[in-house]
């Protein structure tokens, strides 16, 4: 099977609660831009939606913003999955979404997961490197301050100066 072309202005929205209808779905996504169409395909047996729907935006940028903001967001107590929709999932009919196995987007899902994990790992490494650099900088500053204190203490205190001189003489002999 050839790789299907992704429709960049239509989003697949999975994980919908039973009480979410097309109007609620429209309201949840309208803040991101003008919506051309909202569909929640019905299960023929129950006449209820099958816990997913499609939102089609007029502009691709709006769809991208909605996906970025709404993927893993909560709606009616359920966590949403928002991805670009594949064309055959929209058409319906015999070759439509009903014919799609649940694992149809598994390859890209794993790819996205790996990219996400890699990004988190790199961010964690960067944070650790920054912390290490900050700690080294703080230590260096503290050591410099200690050195200044010792020098200042010796200058101000004649006894400390005398002790330092005795110590220096003992060390050199």
Residues 71, 40, 61, CA angle at the centre, nearest 5°? 45
Question: How does pLDDT run across 107-136, given as a tens digit for each residue?
Answer: 677 777 888 888 888 888 989 888 998 999
Residue 82 has pLDDT above 60, yes or no: yes
2 to 5, 92, 126, 127: CA distances (angstroms) = 9, 19, 39, 42
Query: Is the torsion defined by CA of 53, 58, 62, 64 positive or negative?
Result: positive
Residue 93 has pLDDT above 50, yes or no: no
Question: Structure pTM?
Answer: 0.49
pLDDT, the chain, mean: 81
């Amino acid at each position: 099977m050839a790789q299907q072309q992704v429709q960049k202005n239509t989003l697949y929205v999975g994980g919908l609660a039973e009480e979410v209808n097309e109007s609620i779905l429209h309201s949840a996504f309208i803040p991101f831009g003008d919506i051309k169409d909202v569909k929640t395909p019905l299960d023929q047996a129950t006449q209820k939606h099958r816990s997913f729907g499609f939102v089609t935006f007029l502009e691709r940028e709006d769809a991208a913003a909605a996906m970025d903001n709404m993927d893993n967001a909560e709606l009616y107590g359920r966590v949403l999955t928002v991805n670009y929709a594949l064309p055959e999932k929209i058409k319906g009919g015999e070759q439509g979404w009903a014919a799609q196995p649940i694992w149809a987007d598994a390859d890209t899902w794993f790819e996205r997961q790996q990219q996400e994990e890699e990004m988190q790992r790199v961010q964690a490494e960067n944070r650790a490197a920054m912390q290490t650099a900050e700690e080294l900088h703080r230590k260096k500053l503290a050591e410099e301050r200690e050195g200044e204190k010792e020098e200042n203490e010796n200058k101000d205190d004649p006894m400390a100066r005398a002790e330092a001189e005795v110590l220096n003489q003992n060390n050199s002999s």
